[in-house]
Structure 1
């Protein structure tokens, strides 16, 4: 996810960092000198909280068309049904399985280490008091959530328009997946025109989110002021624990899961693999963009890993959209961290829902600037965690974005190596792996 500089002015990430620091410092000063004062209540109620809510509402306004269009186009661009029988299906299976492992790793780490636990529940509720009305507007569509078999059946919508109106993210994603497969199966000019129209929806939504994200520095400053004014230094401790847990989950996926997959399913030396893709990893970290790294990844796959060009290009192009392990990990850790922070106990069914949405959300948010942010906020609303809690993580998102994009690109190259193993032009890969 690349955030470009606006002309010769200061970059957005720099402005977000300034907003984070400014809000944090001012909040800490207020916490130390005027905690509980009436004027602080007035400022948070009528200034900082409304600004944050405007930012959140704009994101929620765009999340449904974003996820629908991204999922449909991601599937439709796989080619045709015959392609799906071999490379397409194998790529899809790899994506789902490895993404599932990534989210399981994330949920296991955050449940084990409990980075958000230990905050006084009364303080957490006080922080949310001013934004309660806005939060209710976001989650009001699903006050009575089904459970058990009813929850499984509810994934299949009987009215997709109503599901979208109710922010039923799983139902909308199910319809988008089915629609994308149907669009893939239909041939003809009309289907091509429809696919172009859906692509247009995606392009427009992405552009609008780009505009909305320009408000992020102001939202970050307001969120951090509210949080720091209430929690003080305890906030910094919790935020550091959150960053550490995200990085730990990313490291496990990068240096434990991927090497096992590469050795077992591709017969390649993991050391040779990581040596060969260093250029792509550096590009991914510096740009924080899977799409911007795609040309470098394709060149590395063909010239360094010696993969068949037709397979490498297909898998890496689809992977830049669909195989987002780092994004899935980030979303899973963030949702559970905020649930712990605000004292919301998530049942096994709710955590399973988080897992499923994070897997699908990795497909729906790829390549979109700060695209994981609205998905995280929507998941929070689904499981009963106050969505405005995402203000906690906005200030450190840029660094985590760079880290998770590196994992995303590495995962795409891992998929290309594994899928290439079974193809006709597999000889260069075998030779390279043996030499390694």
Structure 2
């Protein structure tokens, strides 16, 4: 394992430790001194400000990060074939399957409702304790447009104003169109502009990595506040949330991917998953699509017999754009936290969450807890306190392994489906098994 891999793993363990420390201390306080005055002093002047500082650092970086990531991701789709047949099919396939993934997630969390059961009085007290920042977010959520107005508002009339208001969906629509513009315009100046966006992405990613290093301390503070407020009920809600996430991911992988392989790729799902098992295991172990990419390309060419030009194009783009698992995780998390805090989202708001999750899958940072900024902004959009993300960070390592497995498997399925639609001469046959050797 590389030094970077060891550091990432170490950070994940630190986050888990912070989760457990904050949870245990909060439970002890909840059981022994729930009404003590010193508890309010600690949460108001120590743990609360630390958590707010962490969130503000994330919000400071998230707009330039998502804008640059989405622009670069879309622009790179056209570098090989200028968004010709394979590029357009890859983009359409990614959006379609990501939409299916998020619909499954929203259905699962609405039917099973893992966040229900919290005392509304306690939840409202939690919102009041969150401070002026949370109340401002709630106020913006109440003023957010609905119905047809929300659809029109997706296209910003002033991108600077949209950024200032943290209107993440409008910002993503702008970045999407800007990326398409870079694909259509091929001049020296446009290449310089793309290079500048890549530089912005790299710098912001680096800064985001530094901020994420503060996550263990912030998680400890968040979990102390939550556990001191909700007690043992918190554990019950959290186990239900993990179960719903894993169930939705399994349904997408076993049912949806199998149907795509059988209907569109004309492949046996059992044989496909058997051939892809090396990449699947690597994805689960590393929890990184980028780290699994070399293995996935080799498996696609040698074990699955996919044409090299299509496999490399689809898998390279898919490592950042075809994030089914990430989109599902984000959708379930937002609705779970909305249920937890007793905030009901109507169909229009849930549709908005779905659209942001699909686009967020393209722009999600490849750093530990990379979904955190997207989730935090979506929470603010729908009126849920961003502090609630502390509930999911402690179990994020396990869920990250699961959703990365789905992401990598989805990339291989996409390569198989798109290969099947290409001319016959472009599709290579699976290699013959090697002769046994002593």
Q: What range describes the TM-score normalised by the shorter chain of this pair?
A: over 0.9
Cα distance in structure 2, aligned partners of 1:140 and 1:212: 27
**Could you list the runs of 5+ residues in structure 2 that have no partner in the other structure?**
434-438
Aligned counterpart, 2:109: 110
8 Å Cα contact 2:261-2:268 kept in structure 1: yes
Judge conservation of contact 2:326–2:404 (CA < 8 Å) in 1: yes
* 1:18 and 2:17 correspond: yes
Q: 2-11 or 86-95, which moves further after superposition?
A: 2-11
Change in 2 beyond 3 A, CA 1:141/1:347 = closer
CA deviations on 1:242-284 (whole Å, 9 max, x unpaired) are: 0000000000001111000011110011011111111111111
2:138, 2:384 within 8 Å by CA — same for their partners in 1?
Answer: no
Give 1:136 deviation, angstroms. Answer: 3.7
Separation in 1, partners of 2:417, 2:61: 35
Counterpart residue number, 1:201: 200
Q: How does 1:45-194 map to 2 (within 5 A)?
A: 45-80=44-79, 83-137=82-136, 144-194=143-193
Match of 1:310 in 2: 309
Whether the 8 Å contact between 1:320 and 1:367 is mirrored in structure 2 is no
Counterpart position of 2:427: 426
Give, in angstroms, the shift of residue 218 of structure 1. 0.5
Task: Summarize the Cα distance change of 1:407–1:366 in structure 2 as closer, same or farther, 3 Å threshold.
Answer: farther
Q: Which SS does the other structure have where 2:319 is aligned?
A: helix
- Alpha-carbon distance in structure 2 between the residues aligned to 1:294 and 1:369: 17
Partner residue, 1:213: 212
Alignment length (residue pairs):
431
Post-superposition offset of 1:386: 1.3
TM-score by length of 1: 0.95
The answer to whether the Cα contact below 8 Å between 1:294 and 1:317 also exists between their aligned partners in 2 is yes
Relative to the length of structure 2, the TM-score reads 0.94
Deviation for aligned residue 1:203? 0.6
CA–CA distance in structure 1, aligned partners of residues 391 and 431 of structure 2: 47
CA distance in 2, matches of 1:202, 1:240: 35
- Determine helix, strand or coil for the equivalent of 1:321: coil
* 2:436 aligned partner: none
How much does 1:3 deviate?
Answer: 11
Instruction: Indicate the larger mover: 257-266 or 417-426.
Output: 417-426
Q: Flag the 1:82–1:317 CA change in 2: closer, same or farther, 3 A.
A: closer
Distance in 2 separating the partners of 1:309 and 1:83: 18
Moved more, 81-90 or 42-51: 81-90
Answer yes or no: is the 8 Å Cα contact 1:206–1:369 preserved in 2: no
Distance 1:56 1:270 in 2: 43
Indicate the residue corresponding to 1:324 in structure 2: 323
Pairwise CA RMSD:
2.0
Q: Unmatched 5+ residue regions in structure 1? A: none
Aligned to 2:246: 247
C-alpha distance in structure 2 between counterparts of 1:81 and 1:161, whole Å: 32
